[in-house]
Structures are given as structure tokens and as C-alpha cells.
Amino acid sequence: MRDSGGAGSAARVRQLLADRGVAVRALEPLPGDRRGSRPWRVTTDDGRCLFVKLTAGRQRDAGRLRRCYRRLRYRQLPDGPPYSTAAQKAEHEAELLRRAARAGVRVPRPVDMTTGPAGEGLLVEEFAPGRPLDTLRPGELGADALADLWRQVALLHRAGLAHQDLRAGCVLVTDSAARLVGLAAATDRASPQQRARDLVEPLVTVAALAGARPTVAAATTHLGEAAVADCLPWLQPVLLSQAGRHALGSRPGLLDELRDEIVHRCPGCSPRPARLVRFTGRGLLLVVMLGVLGYLVFAQSGQVAMALGALRHAIPWAVASSLLAAAATYPISALALRLAAPGRIPFGATVAVQVASAFVNRLAPGAVGGVALSLRYLRRQRLPLPVAATAIAVDRAAGAVAFALMLPVLVPFVPGSAQHLGSAAVGRGRTLLLVVLALLALAVVAFGVRRWRARVRQARRQALESLRLLVRSGRMLRLLPVGVALTLAYGAALWLALLAVGLPSAPALIAPVVLVSALGEGVASVAPTPSGLGATEAALVSGLLLYGVPVHTAVAGVLIYRLATFWLPVLPGYVALRLLVRRRAI
């Protein structure tokens, strides 16, 4: 059967039922994730209400793809169900329903099973009364239904069966009873691990509705302390369905509450989680980023070799001082972000984010990667998106204002700086103009769409409130000296790198070098290459030549400066990024 969509499936269900002598009066598709099957509610001419599940076409293929993905990504998970066709799936579920019913488990009674000419499987059951758990609100699950749910699971396990898909949609409850449905993935040769994993999803789902303490108490009463304790290593988000993760997100800290309650009721159990995931999306992204960076390093190996060659003839103390000045930019940047963000965010983790930006920025144009990483970090600190974006914008704007405040001090000591500043302003002004035009276009589109209008207004209110809080707390003024310190740190790193390759320590060159480094970092933030690679070196060398620095000194000094600020932080940045991902800080 190739057509698994709406009208075609409905007509096929009617035909298959008619072939079995069932006259259909009404046919209604049912919502919900049925994992490879299309569910229907059927009303027959004699008034019976049936539940019909059709497996065919794309639905069967989707189930296979899902099993292949889970087998590839996760370890210690059970093999796939013992069927390879839609007809075998229907037969398997019908047989498991009969075995569960013989064990006393409250399950729907299978009525019929048929196979179509195209290999599709149709399973017909009595329509089971009750509401799925995912349609209940907190407080709606009664104590009797809660106890009966665990009673049904205990009966299932004592019969040697494991459901293996006990998500919220597969548990129907009434005021005082629970019913298990959807046994397509069930097994009649359940191992202890399979029975332990069976408890994870209902524990989370029920705890989100009734609380961790009543849930664990009822589970231990009917299943026993040992059975509940065995599920503790498997109590992890990766084993949850989408509905389970949604329930977990609605109650922050729910998993920790469940673990603490299980440990309290089952003394001596080990809370150490089992290793389940072979790879994560973030891990794959890090590997890809590392590969791209490796290619970038290989492509720029000549520049790196020249920088290392310049190091061999450089003054050691000046090189070490340049590295220290470059390293100082990370805690200073972290301090600026902390001041720009409302509330208190941890300083150590914020420094790690700035170090990780040194890796991420090597893979994205300008400072886009660092901005995205900081935004993700602030969101993980539970700041609303408009507030987090405002904090980053204030941080960047404060740096620009601090540089503008330094100009009246620097310009008198830098002859010919007006022309240099003018050309730099033209280059950055074009980029700034494009950014402003893009933001205006987004604002016009957002206000033009009615359903976005309210969100935009709410975001604007949150951003303005965040700005008012920064002004009232005095943080806005404290950002300016931090921005000045950051500019001076970059200037000191370039100055010391030039001293390392023989630049005379003439005080008259300090102001031009600071100005050139500030403009060079500005080029790095707007150039269309990763961290301004190529454009920044050209801007720095040309600026130094403009103020009388010899060519060989300027080139060697810039290479050492870029080694300290661009190449050497890559490895610590990668380590910091892995650490932040592992600790779920981003």
C-alpha cells in the first residue's frame, strides 16, 4: 500500500473492514503519536465502537527509520521488535494483548486482525474508555487511578512481559482505573533491564501530574523497592519520548526529585546513571566544527609557520607578556557580560564562555559565533530571549562607546589619525548600515504579521525594562571603564608583540599602536571571514606602516599578535566548549 495519507487510508480501512464483514457507519482519525501506525475510531452499523490501527506505506518505513536511528545512537537498548512486516506487527500486538489479558492486565480486547493485498496490517480492538495521561492537567490524576496504573504494570512484568513504550499516550485512565494500550513494541521475554526501563516514562509522566513522592510511593507498593531501585540508572531524559520530555520541561528539577525520592525509599541503591548515548547532536556539531577548523589551519599553515618562525627570534619576556595581555581579555570580556546582564551570573562559567568563543569564532564570520554562544549561555541562565539579546547588545555598544571616549585622548598623540579613522569608519559604516537595514526590515515584517505583533511588543517591553534596570543599578557606567580596559589589553598585546620583534620602546608609538589594535579588532568583528582572518592582518599591518613602523617589524609583530589572540586560544576554546556542553551550561 503506497498511499498512507488521509482519504486513501480512510477508504482502505473501510474496504478492509468490509471484507471482514464489518459495516462502517462512521470513521474518525485519532490524534497522537502512534509510532508507525495510523489510528482510527470506528462506529459500526450495529453501534459498536472499535479502535482500528492501520500500518502500511510511509508509516511502516518511518518505524524502521526510527529503530535504525535509535540502534545507531544508543547503547544498551533492546533489539527491535520480532517482526519485519506490517502484518507481522499486527499479529504480534494481538498476541501480546491476549497474553497480557490472561495475566490479568487491563488491556483492550483484540477483535480481529487482517492483512490487505498490498501487505498492510489492520488490527481491530474494542475501543477502550479513558483519557490518555498526556491530556490530564496536574492534580487531575486521582489516587485510585495512580495506584491502579502501577498495579497493571506490576501484573505485566510478573507475566514476563515488558511494554517498552509506556509513554503517556499508551496509558488510559478513568476516575479509579488505568488501562495499558499500544503493545506493538512489547516483548514476552523481558529481561530485568527491559522491565527497569519500562518504569522510566511512567515515573516522569505521573510525577509531573501527581508529584514525585506519591508516584514513587505507589510504584514501590505494587512493584517492590528492588524493581523501582533497578530503574534508577535508566532515569535519564534520553529514554523519554517527546511527551515525556515535555512533562519534564514543565517541572524543572523533576528528575532530581524522583532520584532523591527513590534513594530515600530504596536505601542502598546506586544512583549512578547508565551510559546510554553513543553520540549527541552537540557532540556531532563539535566534531564537525573541529574538522572545519582543522581545514582552516591547514589552509593557513603558511601564516602559522611564519608566526612560529618569528617567535624563534623574538624576545622571550615580551612574547610572554603579550600572551598574558591576550589572556587578560577573556576575564575582562566576562566581566563586561556580567555587568550587561541583569541578575547574577557565575563569573567562572562566563569566563569559560568567552574562552569557548575563541573556538566558535574561528568558524563563523566576524563575531557571530561568539554572539550566538553568549546568547545561548544567557538563555541557559534563564534570561528571556529579549533580555539576553539586550545584554549582548549593551555589552557590544559599551565597547564602542568606551573606544569613542578614548579617541580624544589618543588622537592628539597620533599624527594623521583623522584620515585613518575616516577610512575605517567608512568600511565599518557600510556593515553597520546593512545591519540596521536588516533589523528595520525584520521589524516591519514582524509588525505586519498579526500573530507576531504581540510577541514583538512584549519583547520590546522586556528589553526596555532591562535597559532601565541597568541604568538604575549603575552598571551602565561601570561598563565603560571595563570597555576601556579591554581595548587597552588588546593594545598592550600588540605593543608587546612588536617589542618582541625589535620595535623601539618609544612612548610616542604607544597611542598609534593602541589605535591600530582597536581598529583591527573592529575589522575582525565585521569582516566576512572567521574572526576577520586575512582582513585583520592587512588592517593591522597597513595601520602600523602608516605610523612609521618598519615593514618587517610590523609583519612579524602582527603575526605574533595574531598567534596570541587567534591561533593559540583555539585549543583551550575547544576544551572550554566541551566542558560547557558536558555541564549543560550552553
445 and 437 in contact (C-beta within 8 Å)?
no
Q: Could you tell me where the beta strands, DSSP code E, fall in 178-310?
A: 178-180
pLDDT at position 280 over 90? no
The answer for residues whose C-beta is within 8 angstroms of residue 493's C-beta and 6 or more apart is 322, 323, 325, 326, 329, 517, 561, 564, 565
pLDDT at position 431 over 80? no
For the chain, the residue count is: 586
134 and 243 in contact (C-beta within 8 Å)?
yes
User: What are the tens digits of pLDDT across the range 360-401?
Assistant: 887 776 677 888 899 999 998 888 888 888 898 888 888 888
pLDDT at 6: 45
pLDDT at position 3 over 60? no
pLDDT at 425: 47
Burial of 123 (0-12, 13-18, 19+ CB in 10 A): buried
Q: How confident is the model at residue 459 (pLDDT cuts 50, 70, 90)?
A: confident
User: What are the tens digits of pLDDT across the range 513-529?
Assistant: 888 888 877 766 666 66
Distance set, CA 195 to CA 166, 206, 505 (Å): 11, 17, 74
pLDDT at position 332 over 60? yes
559 and 500 in contact (C-beta within 8 Å)?
no
pLDDT at 445: 67
pLDDT at position 463 over 50? yes
CA pair distance 182, 172, nearest whole angstrom: 10
Q: How confident is the model at residue 95 (pLDDT cuts 50, 70, 90)?
A: very high
54 and 27 in contact (C-beta within 8 Å)?
no
Mean pLDDT value of segment 255-264: 90
Q: How confident is the model at residue 249 (pLDDT cuts 50, 70, 90)?
A: confident
pLDDT at position 480 over 80? yes
User: What are the tens digits of pLDDT across the range 4-56?
Assistant: 344 457 888 888 888 888 888 888 888 765 556 778 898 988 888 999 888 76
CA pair distance 277, 281, nearest whole angstrom: 11
Find, among 514, 535, 513, 516, the residue nearest to 524 by Cα: 535
pLDDT at 398: 87
The answer for residues whose C-beta is within 8 angstroms of residue 149's C-beta and 6 or more apart is 171, 173, 178, 202, 206, 218
What percent of the chain is modeled with pLDDT above 90?
A: 28
User: What are the tens digits of pLDDT across the range 172-182?
Assistant: 999 889 999 98
pLDDT at 2: 32
pLDDT at 443: 65
Higher pLDDT: 311 or 295? It is: 311
155 and 198 in contact (C-beta within 8 Å)?
no
pLDDT at 446: 63
What percent of the chain is modeled with pLDDT above 70?
A: 79
Q: How confident is the model at residue 426 (pLDDT cuts 50, 70, 90)?
A: very low
Find the range with the poorest average confidence among 187-201, 214-228, 317-331, 400-414.
400-414
Domains contained in the chain, CATH given: 6-126 (3.30.200.20), 131-265 (1.10.510), 302-343+390-571 (no CATH)
User: What are the tens digits of pLDDT across the range 115-127?
Assistant: 877 777 888 999 9
DSSP string of 284-336?
HHHHHHHHHHHHHHHHTHHHHHHHHHHHHTS-HHHHHHHHHHHHHHHHHHHHH
Higher pLDDT: 4 or 105? It is: 105
Mean pLDDT, rounded, of the chain: 82
The SS3 assignment for 28 reads strand
50 and 30 in contact (C-beta within 8 Å)?
no
561 and 322 in contact (C-beta within 8 Å)?
yes
Higher pLDDT: 482 or 90? It is: 482
**pTM of the predicted protein model:** 0.61
pLDDT at 429: 47
pLDDT at 98: 93
